[in-house]
């Protein structure tokens, strides 16, 4: 990947038409995803670190501990300041924001931190920057798309390799450990989210946490997993049948569920495109599942068709019953499923780059 992240372009997007003149991003023990978006950093912890930004420049207030890590990857328009005291913090913030309006990410910053900041910004007015930041991140640039493609490629390859490790008696926890090892071997830089591995009836629980359930023959194996690559997430689901016994009714029932979900996913892909409404795509897929096979799966698609993906695995507004206009350059998941309590379920999930006319899987 030759191109680095386009930080100038990102600042432009965040500040165009905004009511704030600068923003303060403040990490806690966790990083605000917008910190990663505006710095492009792929290394370092940066606990409690403060990032100041206006439409042209960035200032990072960090400690000696991570000063060198910051300098080593700072974009051209970032000043990195090594902070020695509370007084340094106060003065740097005051100087940077001046008397203009200050944007804060209300969706992330803890109340106590916000209260503390208020004391440091004098008469400046505080404005919620959450929506503006989320909107800026919706349309991915080339660097972001390439990073997500790579995350998907690593995940897809690992999902192909994992079936070699399906064996009678292996537990969900063991299969998860194996999968995450393979993901790392294939170049994954971390997990996009906590892996879901479900066997048999557990596959009916979309957010099942892997436990000591052992794999049996002629059963569903569902993996919902994703690698992180240069801060960007992949999110994919595959459903397999382990050691199928094709003569059984159970197998036929499982196969019919899988076929229906795969068909539903194709319909989803055909409806996800520039200008389309995400909720309309969701409703069409839900309608197809509700009517399939004489209505035997009615009401068994119990989540939304998809969600946006980026630095966060659930980024911005999803493809739910809430209207959301899809636009070229967004990345969304296409993940229908059917869930039968006590029996099992299937889900197939791929990540779609929204395009004009038609979209494609990353
Ligand atoms: Mn997903």
The string of pLDDT tens digits covering residues 220-262 is 999 999 999 999 999 999 999 999 999 999 999 999 999 999 9
Query: Do the Cβ atoms of 232 and 311 come closer than 8 Å?
Result: yes
Q: What DSSP letter does each residue of 54-114 carry, written as one string?
A: -SS-EEEEE-HHHHHHHHTT--TTEEEEE--SHHHHHHHHHHHHTTS-EEE-TTTS-HHHH
How far, in Å, from the CA of 226 to the mean position of ligand 1? 9
How far, in Å, from the CA of 349 to the mean position of ligand 1? 7
How far, in Å, from the CA of 66 to the mean position of ligand 1? 33
* Coil, strand or helix at 129: coil
Angstrom CA distances, 297 to 49, 218, 238, stand at 49, 21, 19
How far, in Å, from the CA of 261 to the mean position of ligand 1? 15
Q: Is it the case that residue 131 has pLDDT exceeding 90?
A: yes
How far, in Å, from the CA of 28 to the mean position of ligand 1? 26
User: In residues, how long is the chain?
Assistant: 362
* Coil, strand or helix at 126: strand
Residues 6+ apart with CB under 8 A from 192: 151, 225, 226, 227, 228, 233, 234, 235, 313
How far, in Å, from the CA of 196 to the mean position of ligand 1? 11
Residues 6+ apart with CB under 8 A from 66: 44, 45, 46, 49
How far, in Å, from the CA of 307 to the mean position of ligand 1? 7
How many CB atoms neighbour CB 261 within 10 A?
25
How far, in Å, from the CA of 65 to the mean position of ligand 1? 36
Rounded CA gap, 201 and 34, in Å?
A: 39
**pLDDT of 316-327, one tens digit each?**
788 888 888 999
Quote the tokens at residue 225.
């997993």
How open is the CA angle 173-178-183, to the nearest 5 degrees?
125
How far, in Å, from the CA of 112 to the mean position of ligand 1? 32
| pLDDT tier, 209 (very low <50, low <70, confident <90, very high otherwise) | very high
Question: Does the domain made of 139-361 have the CATH classification 2.60.40.10?
Answer: no
How far, in Å, from the CA of 47 to the mean position of ligand 1? 28
Quote the tokens at residue 113.
């931190």
How far, in Å, from the CA of 333 to the mean position of ligand 1? 6
How far, in Å, from the CA of 296 to the mean position of ligand 1? 25
Would residue 40 be called left, alpha or beta, if left means φ above 0 and alpha means ψ between -120 and 50 degrees?
left
Radius of gyration (Cα) for the chain, nearest Å?
Answer: 23
Segment 122-147 shows an average pLDDT of 94
How far, in Å, from the CA of 179 to the mean position of ligand 1? 17
**pLDDT of 84-116, one tens digit each?**
999 999 999 999 999 999 999 999 999 999 998
Query: Do the Cβ atoms of 330 and 283 come closer than 8 Å?
Result: no
How far, in Å, from the CA of 353 to the mean position of ligand 1? 14
State residue 1's pLDDT score: 42
High-pLDDT (> 70) share of the chain, %: 99
So where are the chain's domains?
A: 7-137, 139-361
How far, in Å, from the CA of 325 to the mean position of ligand 1? 19
How far, in Å, from the CA of 156 to the mean position of ligand 1? 14
How far, in Å, from the CA of 278 to the mean position of ligand 1? 15
Pairing of strands 126-128, 102-104: parallel
How far, in Å, from the CA of 18 to the mean position of ligand 1? 30
How far, in Å, from the CA of 14 to the mean position of ligand 1? 26
Cα–Cα nearest to 225, from 204, 182, 194, 262: 194
Rounded CA gap, 357 and 362, in Å?
A: 16
How far, in Å, from the CA of 95 to the mean position of ligand 1? 42
**pLDDT of 32-86, one tens digit each?**
999 999 999 999 999 999 999 999 999 999 999 999 999 999 999 999 999 999 9
* Coil, strand or helix at 167: coil
Rounded CA gap, 292 and 279, in Å?
A: 20
* CATH tag for 7-137 (out of 3.30.2290.10, 3.30.390.30, 3.40.350.10, 3.90.400.10): 3.40.350.10
CA atoms within 13 A on the CB side of 193: 20
Pairing of strands 78-82, 58-62: parallel
* Coil, strand or helix at 229: strand
Cα–Cα nearest to 349, from 240, 247, 220, 261: 261
Would residue 253 be called left, alpha or beta, if left means φ above 0 and alpha means ψ between -120 and 50 degrees?
alpha
């Amino acid at each position: 990947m030759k191109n680095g992240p386009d930080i100038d372009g990102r600042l432009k997007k965040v500040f165009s038409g905004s009511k704030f003149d600068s923003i303060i991003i403040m990490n806690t023990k966790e990083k605000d995803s917008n910190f990663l978006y505006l710095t492009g950093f792929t290394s370092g912890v940066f606990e409690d670190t403060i990032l100041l930004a206006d439409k042209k420049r960035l200032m990072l207030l960090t400690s000696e501990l991570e000063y060198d890590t910051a300098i080593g990857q700072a974009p051209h328009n970032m000043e990195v300041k090594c902070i020695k005291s509370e007084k340094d913090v106060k003065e740097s913030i005051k100087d940077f924001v001046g008397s203009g309006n200050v944007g804060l990410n209300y969706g992330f910053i803890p109340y106590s931190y916000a209260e503390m900041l208020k004391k440091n910004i004098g008469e400046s007015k505080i404005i919620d920057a959450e929506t503006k930041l989320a909107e800026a991140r919706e349309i991915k640039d080339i660097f972001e798309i390439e990073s997500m493609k790579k995350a998907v490629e690593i995940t897809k390859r690992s999902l192909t390799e994992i079936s070699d490790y399906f064996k009678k008696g292996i537990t969900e926890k063991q299969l998860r450990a194996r999968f995450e090892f393979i993901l790392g071997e294939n170049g994954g830089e971390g997990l996009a989210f906590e892996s879901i591995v479900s066997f048999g009836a557990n596959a009916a629980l979309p957010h099942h946490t892997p436990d000591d359930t052992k794999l049996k023959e002629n059963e569903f194996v569902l993996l919902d997993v994703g690698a992180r690559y240069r801060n960007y997430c992949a999110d994919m689901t595959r459903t397999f049948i382990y050691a199928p016994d094709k003569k059984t009714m159970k197998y036929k029932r499982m196969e019919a569920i899988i076929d229906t979900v795969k068909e539903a996913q194709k319909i989803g892909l055909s409806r996800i495109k520039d200008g389309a409404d995400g909720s309309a795509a969701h409703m069409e897929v839900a309608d197809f599942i509700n009517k399939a096979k004489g209505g035997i799966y009615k009401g068994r698609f119990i989540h939304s068709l998809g969600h946006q993906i980026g630095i966060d695995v659930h980024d911005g507004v999803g493809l739910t019953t809430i209207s959301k206009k899809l636009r070229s350059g967004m990345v969304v998941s296409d993940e229908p499923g059917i869930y039968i309590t006590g029996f099992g379920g299937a889900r197939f999930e791929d990540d779609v780059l929204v395009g004009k006319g038609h979209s494609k899987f990353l």
